[in-house]
A and B are shown apart, each in its own frame.
Chain A
Amino acid sequence: MDLSAIDPLVLLASLMVAATPILLAATGELVVEKSGVLNLGVEGMMITGAICGLAVAVETGSPALGFLGAALGGAVISLIFAVLTQVFLANQVATGLALTLFGLGFSALLGQGYIGVKPPPTGQVPIPGLSEIPVLGRVVFSHDLIVYLSLILVALVWAVLKYTRAGLILRAVGENHGAAHALGYKVVRIRVLAIMFGGALAGLGGAYLSLVRVPQWTEGMTAGAGWIALAIVVFASWKPWRIILGAYLFGGITVLQLNLQAAGVKVPVEYLSMSPYLITILVLVIMSSGRSRAALNAPAALGQTFHASS
């Protein structure tokens, strides 16, 4: 075993890369949950995005179009969930599960011809000036555009939720859909849009896996990332900035255990591989046991079906 082979700077830089898919998906899910909808289909939307992104990137040769295609694919498949839960009033938990199961099968079907195909590389864009800063420049400012985009999106979501009327209306719908309806807001329309935004971000996150992190297509490659994104929303108590913390914490553990595997630590690989899931569970437990604060911040109408009876 040789722990000295682990370079802490590389570790920190790759942590950001490892965290980005989950960061994107969790940010999208946060918006969905803020509108009062629990979409458990993140995993399914992510993997759909992963294959859509890869396929588009391979066919067009452009990673940028690939990411665009992934966002579109995620949004389209989330529309199934939106229609079922908002129009057909289906149970959100069951529908979210169905979306995950369907997404896994559907993506495998789409991916038939792409197994082992390498996507065009997504270039790194060191930010001029900032990337020259010693240590920090290498860790934070020498990534591809999607890493920066994911951070900008978190800031954007935070600002919109906190300072704009659209954000206020979204939160209002998630708190009390009956009252929002009585005041004349289109609950269903707002929620459908939120769900599609969540789908697009989950799709982006999936594409980041297949285009940058891995980068190729394998069936079931998200390996629970969508579920971890869901857990991170709870961990963040529905606060955008804390999503970053949660995602990077998870990314750090993933990267660390991979490095430990590579360094040949005398623990079977399987036990190291399960550590991110175990730690996610642990974090969930810690968050839920300090119940009062976290519970109070959950949108009050989360998961409830809305039907305007009048």
Chain B
Amino acid sequence: MTGRETLLSIEGLTKAYPGVIANSDVSFRIGLGEVHALLGENGAGKSTLVKMIYGLVRPDAGRMLLRGAEYAPADPHAARKAGVAMVFQHFSLFEALNVAENVSLGMENPPSQGQLARRIREVSQAYGLPLDPARLVGDLSAGERQRVEIVRCLLQDPKLLIMDEPTSVLTPQEVEILFRTLRQLSAEGTAILYISHKLEEIRALCDTATVLRLGKVVGTCTPRAKSARELAEMMVGKLLNETRRSGSAPGAAVIEVQGLSVRSPNPFGTALKDVSFSVRRGEVLGIGGVAGNGQDELLAALSGEVSAPKGAVMLNGTDIGALGPNGRRSLAVLSAPEERLGHAAAPDMSLTENAVLTGAAREGLVRGGFVNWGKARAFAERIIREFDVRTPGPGNAARALSGGNLQKFVIGREILQRPDVLVVNQPTWGVDASAAAAIRQALLDLAEGGTAVIVISQDLDELMEIADRFAALNEGRLSAPRPTEGLSIEEIGMMMGGAHGMEVAHAQG
């Protein structure tokens, strides 16, 4: 280990949920001022572990010692009093409240609003995270929202700061700034428990790494001393096949989007502004960007959930902007939204019923207004078989499936309908590594068969792996697409809008 004085020691923590053991006998130590990585795949048990440290979940067995004293927080208030703070992956923020109110809600003994606003300004400047305390959180970018969470933690002078997948919502430039802040904190003696599955980040930032797999600690190491490949092997347990890409040249343009501007259906959503691009047969266009910059809106405008202005969305030269989702499906324009439960699939419905959701027309599942349930079931079974969806059968409810399996079902449902254009948003979000690899391969194979594929994703590595060209969404605008080959991380970051709201810090830095 690092030879530092131990701050938090975790001894034999175990937590079981029905059917899953989330954590089994997990033990490790975090030293004072140490940046400690918790590395693992989706479903490895990282979230459950940090929830126990933060007092949201009680362990079934095992104990924790904070500076040698028994530490068993009954709730987050107790954790915060003991000097443990947490930045959530899905932010614990309130959109209709302002920054100061949001910060105040996460503090134990907040000062008056006026005083708090002053302290927010001070702390945010000191750590290079500028924030206006009076702004409504709903109007902030994802990066700025994260700053609210971090500042909220910092105001309580924490001894241990837990960060759950903090970089998934940041541009590369913003990641750099975050790392500077974290290093500063570490130098001041604050320990950081940094949860991620991004290996390069962990190698760049962390002093020690504890690797979790299926709820168990499978190793502890110094990440700088290991290669990314070695870390991946520890995390996944086996080496994955790399995706195969064919070198075949794309054909003629299939779908053309020209000057697309639409308002968001959500009050805090982002409107699309003058978005233009085209995708050719057999081509994969990757669209990156930080969450909340118009991804949902772009998918909705392409899927037909939101109708587009005249001439903005053209399929082989015909205007399809006025058509609804089923109208576009009949023309082989298919899509798979980001939110699996509740958008791409109905959680409480069976897989057979979910097969009808988008397959009704193209698969002939509805005749004369009546659903042919036999045929629907056969279609669901075909998806399950061909895309290796692990489930007892098509009668199972969608929400009973794991994230990876449901995602394979959703993507498979669209691919089996032989699309000419397929739009997917976050195809591998929250999906385990092997399912993610299978989905990416399926998308590449589809493109090879001549489909124009649009992949919207916040995972830049994913886009670099499968896309032929890359463009980024930033505040509803799309950058001009560029070939992925030879694109540097700095260039990508600038396309994504650089560091949002950081003009001041830039001038100083």
Contact = CB atoms under 8 A, between A and B. Distances in A.
B77 A179 contact: no
Given A310-B56, A310-B57, A172 B267 contact: no
Interface in A170-196: 171-172, 175-176, 178-180, 182-185
Given A184-B76, A310-B56, A310-B57, A169 B105 contact: yes
Given A183-B76, A184-B55, A168 B101 contact: yes
A279 to B, nearest CB: 29
Identify whether the interface residues of A are mostly helix, strand, loop, or mixed: helix
Contacts of A295: 267
A307 to B, nearest CB: 14
Contact of B92 (A179, A299, A300): A179
B95 A175 contact: yes
A182 B86 CA distance: 10
B373 interface: no
B106 A183 contact: yes
B165 to A, nearest CB: 15
A185 to B, nearest CB: 8
A1 interface: no
Interface residues of A, number: 21
B243 to A, nearest CB: 34
A165 interface: yes
B471 interface: no
B91 interface: yes
Interface in B46-76: 48, 51, 55-57, 75-76
A182 B96 contact: no
Interface residues of B, number: 25
Contacts, number: 59
B104 interface: yes
Contacts of B483: none
A310 B76 contact: no
Contact of B94 (A176, A296, A297, A310): A176
B56 A168 contact: no
Nearest to A296: B267
B271 interface: no
Contacts of B357: none
B92 A182 contact: yes
B251 interface: no
B93 A179 contact: yes
A182 B88 contact: yes
Interface in B75-119: 75-77, 79-80, 88, 90-97, 101, 104-106, 110
B267 A179 contact: no
Nearest to A291: B267
B56 A182 contact: yes
A30 B77 CA distance: 28
Contacts of A171: 94, 96-97
Nearest to A182: B92
Contacts of A310: 48, 51, 56-57
Contacts of A168: 97, 101, 104-105
Contacts of A182: 56, 76, 88, 92
Contact of A172 (B48, B51, B97): B97
A178 B48 CA distance: 16
A179 B91 contact: yes
5 contacts: A171-B97, A172-B97, A179-B91, A183-B76, A184-B55
Interface of B: 48, 51, 55-57, 75-77, 79-80, 88, 90-97, 101, 104-106, 110, 267
Interface of A: 165, 168-169, 171-172, 175-176, 178-180, 182-185, 292, 295-297, 299-300, 310
Given A175-B95, A179-B94, 10 more contacts: A165-B104, A165-B110, A175-B97, A178-B92, A182-B76, A183-B92, A184-B56, A184-B77, A184-B80, A300-B96
Pick the 4 closest A-B CB pairs, nearest first. Answer: A184-B76, A179-B92, A182-B92, A175-B94
